[in-house]
Amino acid sequence: MDSKKEIRNYVFAKRKELTQEDADRFSRSICQKVLALPQFEQAACVFAYADYNKEAQTGEIIRAAWAAGKRVAVPKVTGPHQMKYYYLESMDQLEPGYYGIPEPAWGEEAAEEDALIIVPGVAFDENRHRAGYGQGFYDRYLSAHPNHPTVAIAFEFQIVDRVPAEPTDIFPELVVTEERIIQ
């Protein structure tokens, strides 16, 4: 697999084969690892994505953040190439948005510049290179807001030999799977 397109096709096929039970089980393991990270423990606010279509699930991370008294925000696509984070007080705020991905239907724009960001991705490699969904939303956001600690979460099958890196790519500090933490 040499191109990001080939990598995406491979991972999407693997995700399609994934049972919901395995997705739930792997996500619980990922969540336990994330909750034990100093980056999570020290964060006053967590920016997490709302998972969709058998992505590594964030619901447990969001609920644990609320239980620990942390603020939570999730992204919303607000323009052709723009994404902003909005505070999430309840899962009831989420409605299908851009490409059917759950987004906050209402809420206040999040202002923290040092919140822990839980980053999604289609695939990663051992160097933490990331293949996203191809629209560049996270790369643009993270390049404009560089002080956020970043932790990507993914299933182990999303770790591939090599993800081609481009100059505009922003790599997460850690990648957490159900089996390991890549630093």
For residue 60, pLDDT over 70 is answered with: yes
Residue positions forming the annotated binding site for substrate: 55
Helix 59-67 / helix 20-35 crossing angle, nearest 10 deg: 40
Encode pLDDT of 21-35 as tens digits. 999 999 999 999 999
For residue 51, pLDDT over 90 is answered with: yes
Structure confidence at residue 122 (pLDDT): 93
- Which phi and psi (to 5°) does residue 12 adopt? -60, -40
For residue 103, pLDDT over 80 is answered with: yes
Residue positions forming the annotated binding site for ATP: 4-8, 130-138
Q: How confident is the model at residue 180 (pLDDT cuts 50, 70, 90)?
A: very high
Average pLDDT estimate for 101-108: 94
Structure confidence at residue 95 (pLDDT): 94
Structure confidence at residue 169 (pLDDT): 84
Average pLDDT estimate for 79-96: 93
Average pLDDT estimate for 94-104: 92
Residue positions forming the annotated binding site: 4-8, 55, 130-138
Question: Taking the model in full, what pTM does it have?
Answer: 0.93
For residue 1, pLDDT over 80 is answered with: no
Single-letter amino acid code for the residue at 30:
I
Encode pLDDT of 115-162 as tens digits. 999 999 999 999 999 988 878 899 999 999 999 999 999 999 999 999
